[in-house]
Amino acid sequence: MKMKIYPFVFLSLPVALFGCREELPVLDSEKEYITYPTDPQTIEGFFLLNEGNMGSNKCTIDFFSARGGYYLRNIYPESNPSIVKELGDVGNDIQIHDGKMYAVVNCSHFVEVMDVSTAKHLGSVDITNCRYITFNGDKAYVSSYAGPIQIDPEARPGKVVEFDTNTLQITREVVVGYQPEDMVISNGRLYVANSGGYRYPNYDRTVSVIDLESFQVVNTIDVAINLHRMEMDSRGNIYVISRGDYYGNSSDIYVIDSATETVTGNLGVSASQMWIDDDLLYIISSEWSYTDTDNKVSYLIYDTAQGKVVSENFITDGTEADIRMPYGIAVNPETKEIYVTDATDYVTPGYLYCFSPEGKKQWSVRTGDIPAHFAFTTEDFYYNDTPEETTSSAYITKVIEYMPAPGQFVNAMPEYEEGDTQEDMNRKALEAIGNNKRGMVSLGGYGGYITVGFDHQIENKAGLRDFRILGNAFQGASTAASGGSYEPGIIQVAVDEDNDGQPDDGQWYEIAGSAHHDPTQETWYSTSLNAGNDMAFYDDYEIVYQAPDQEPSTEEEQKKYIPWTDNKGNQGYITKNTYNRQAYYPQWIAEKEIRFKGSRLPQNAVDQSGNGTYFVLYPFAYGYADNATNASDESAIDIDWAVDAEGNAVSLQGIDLIRIYTGVNQENGWIGECSTEVSGVEDLHVLGTEIPTR
């Protein structure tokens, strides 16, 4: 399964020239399955704004679908092919209001306005050196540095610009402090954090208070130097980050009582970014000190109701060690999952990490450059990645048989309902992954399989890979060279000339991937061997699973949930975890044991933590399902790699059937059994995609 320094001295941006919006070629979006689909109550997912390094013109927007379990990178160009080629230079904020999405693009000096369901361009508002945006009714308020992008001790004061969200016309402006940043609204007043970052070392230290009716500054609150982000709790207390001066003055969070407009104290904690949810303030800090030449990182939770820190580290499984430069944070208001972004080196793609409310890493995914700002949405994002119509479908059109081994997502993906037959489960599997639906099915532990067919024969073209199997493999963000979450499935192909859904002469041919030839050549072979894994490749493997007499009620029974034995003298169990409570043995199977035969791959998972909390699953070089990210060439297969039962290469003009089965037998601590996932199959030739073979 998949659970799956760059110090800023003055501001959150270095000095550079900004680029125009038309300089770069259109980049295609990328879709990657990273976790299992859910059925959210209202939150469909979120948009993530990647800032892009200044001058690179690489601001992009990504989208995570909680319902679909997938991540889309760089959605804007394909949604708007005739408008611009990129969003522009340095994305600084993203918000959703009344069905529209607003991206503040700082160095390109505009606010881009889009339809939240499609990301299609609706208009833009030109605002010089714009920073953050907030809303009140049908009015938007944007903080602006109001001057050129440059360090200048004589830089002019900033301003807040009001525009109408219906007409996108600027209606009013008001001068505030120097280089204003984030804002919050309380009781008809807008509070603006002023940084003075361009005026180093003479930072501003004030919050400007604007009466929204008169649109005049009615108060100025002295707080601390170099103010930045703001949040407000349910009692009207405003929390504002002071970034300090990166020398003797450390960052901190100050508290303003909006009723009295006075500073009531400070938290005494370093902070770079924060997010408030249910009066819990989630705080990340990556504080650089030129005095100590050190970067101190922390992950805190402050309870605003109790007035104290309640967690010194909200990441509890040690995986914070993977994050090079924590940069952005968000908390899902429904699931309470915690999202932390990693800017890595600020010039190459970053990563997004998802943690459970208990602080356990669930998954991570590659993002754009400098991932930073989140906007949760209750609207589904309509992404049209369907290719132009052709005579033949490029995708699965039938599921011949879905037969998983026991596993933690069996009976859930797809969902078994009482009374379902084998035919029902075949139909549900097709509904999930057929016809480019890109849902997902789990094949369970070793041997579990799915057999699929098409409305045509997939051609075997010389020198090219012929089809791609989609899964939910993903690359890890750190540590081990090629590690991540890879649960390889072995692939078989067949010809079905009489179209009866069965291979001619009963002959299946196996795609011989890298481990079929020599597993010792895998780059991670020694690492896995030294970890005590069974690194043998078997072409005559057989396993038998026994149905449990009853569902487990104790922790010990969970550990010995579904027993198995193999023909190599081994035995073990499919364990039951606390995350997936349904039965793991396929409930539509009446027999009390299930037997699978086939090849078995070497064990590819290594516990890097040493205590069962952090497993890295390595990919084989080539030739297997769920063994590479969907965008990678290595998720594509060449029919010429097929061999017969004796291991001899065969010559096939094309294939009609594909069978995929879980190829590794390994239990991986708290993340459970190795279980191949499938979300679709693509005929590359129908799609017009040419990927050279090995």
Task: Look at the chain and report how many structural domains it folds into.
Answer: 2
Last residue in a domain, options 321, 344, 377: 377
276 and 244 within one domain: yes
For residue range 423-463, list pLDDT tens digits in order.
999 999 999 999 888 778 999 999 999 999 999 999 999 99
461 and 367 within one domain: no
For residue range 486-495, list pLDDT tens digits in order.
999 999 999 9
More confident residue, 69 or 16: 69
Report yes or no on 326 lying in a domain. Answer: yes
More confident residue, 328 or 80: 328
Average pLDDT over residues 221-236: 96
What domain range is 563 assigned to? 398-687
354 and 456 within one domain: no
Residue 77 above 70 pLDDT?
yes
Lowest-pLDDT range, 2-11, 60-69, 208-217?
2-11
Q: Read off the pLDDT band of 154 (50, 70, 90).
A: confident
Is pTM beyond 0.95? Reply is no
Report yes or no on 386 lying in a domain. Answer: no
Do 598 and 659 form a contact (C-beta atoms < 8 A)? no
Per-residue model confidence (pLDDT) at position 207: 97
Lowest-pLDDT range, 180-189, 236-245, 288-297, 309-318?
288-297
419 and 293 within one domain: no
527 and 411 within one domain: yes
For residue range 633-692, list pLDDT tens digits in order.
999 999 999 999 999 999 999 999 999 999 999 999 888 999 999 999 999 999 999 999
Residue 131 above 90 pLDDT?
yes
Name, in order, each residue with C-beta under 8 angstroms of 84's C-beta and a sequence gap of 6 or more: 21, 22, 77, 121
343 and 421 within one domain: no
Residues pairing with 238 in the sheet? 232, 256
Last residue in a domain, options 342, 377, 412: 377
Report yes or no on 15 lying in a domain. Answer: no
Residue 242 above 60 pLDDT?
yes
407 and 343 within one domain: no
Per-residue model confidence (pLDDT) at position 398: 96
More confident residue, 160 or 56: 160
The per-residue b/e assignment along 403-417, b for 16 or more CB within 10 angstroms, e otherwise, is: bbbbbbbbbbbbebe
* Mean predicted lDDT score pLDDT of the chain: 89
Q: Give the closest residue to 65 by CA, choosing from 369, 429, 376.
A: 376
Report yes or no on 81 lying in a domain. Answer: yes
Work out the percent of the chain whose per-residue pLDDT is above 70: 91
Report yes or no on 618 lying in a domain. Answer: yes
Report yes or no on 3 lying in a domain. Answer: no
141 and 91 within one domain: yes
402 and 372 within one domain: no
Q: Read off the pLDDT band of 55 (50, 70, 90).
A: low
For residue range 374-420, list pLDDT tens digits in order.
999 999 888 765 444 546 889 999 999 999 999 999 999 999 999 99
Residue 319 above 60 pLDDT?
yes
Q: Read off the pLDDT band of 81 (50, 70, 90).
A: confident
Whether the bond into 602 is cis, omega within 30 of 0: no
333 and 447 within one domain: no
450 and 368 within one domain: no
Report yes or no on 385 lying in a domain. Answer: no
More confident residue, 247 or 122: 122
Do 65 and 33 form a contact (C-beta atoms < 8 A)? no
Per-residue model confidence (pLDDT) at position 584: 97
CATH of the domain at 303: 2.130.10.10
Look up residue 284 and give its two tokens: 């990340």
332 and 437 within one domain: no
CB atoms within 10 A of CB 216: 12
Last residue in a domain, options 377, 406, 440: 377
